Amino acid sequence: MAVVEERPVLAVADPAPLGLAAFALTTFLLSGHNATFIPDLIWIGPALFYGGLVQLAAGMWEFRNRNVFGATAFSTYGGFWLALGIFVTLIVLSKSFAGAITANKADVPNALAWFLFAFAVFNLYMLLWSSRVNAAVFGVFLTLQITEILLVIGFFYEAHGHANNGWIHAGGWVGVLTAAVAWYTSAALVSGGMNAGNPILPVGRPLWTGTRLGMGPPARERVR
């Protein structure tokens, strides 16, 4: 007869505030550059280590919490920042890489447009499911969706010879708003974690409850 050792389920801290904070700060720095009030490249370090590695770690911890939504969101956007940071780092540091990607002047903005388009597709269905979490999280994904669409248009426009166009600047300003909403949501969840799960800052109710979709126990689907 097999003996299975039963181990107690240990309470763990909610990683969502950390993941949101990492996303917010990195988004703010890059968006501030796109909006032209923050110098370029300062965002690369945070993209690799804070928005990238730290947010990816938050996603892994959400798997431990059986939070399918949080695990998918944080892990994906952790990968997003790591990929974008490495891409720009290689352009700056590798002559062969830079030579290949800049052989055609339109290739870099065109590549960035398609990169952001692919993440906008992902973000769209995450936006739909975020409506089942709470209003604050829905606000993060809604403003992020608008940011990504504006930047996709802007980079495609730049690829056709219109550099520093208003679409990218608009995407930058909406990105700053996205960072602000993510920071607020992070702050609300930190206050909740320090107050027996009752946020001091309101995050709003889910926009709809829907039905169970086989994504894990509904009561544990957090990023509250």
pLDDT in tens, 148-200: 999 999 999 999 999 889 999 999 999 999 999 999 999 999 999 998 777 79
Q: Distance (Å, rounded) from C-alpha 17 to C-alpha 184?
A: 10
Residue 201 included in any domain: yes
- Domain range spanning residue 76? 16-211
Specify the pLDDT at position 49.
98
Residue 169 included in any domain: yes
For 35-62, write each residue's pLDDT tens digit.
999 999 999 999 999 999 999 999 999 9
Residue 219 included in any domain: no
Residue 194 included in any domain: yes
Cα separation values, 107 from 39, 119, 188, 190, Å:
23, 18, 41, 42
pLDDT at 136 over 90: yes
pLDDT at 63 over 90: yes
Q: Distance (Å, rounded) from C-alpha 128 to C-alpha 7?
A: 36
pLDDT band at 140 (very low <50, low <70, confident <90, very high): very high
Residue 126 included in any domain: yes
Residue 109 included in any domain: yes
pLDDT band at 210 (very low <50, low <70, confident <90, very high): low
Specify the pLDDT at position 223.
45
Residue 10 included in any domain: no
* Portion of the chain with pLDDT greater than 70, in percent: 88
State the pTM of this model.
0.88
Domain count across the chain: 1
Residue 11 included in any domain: no
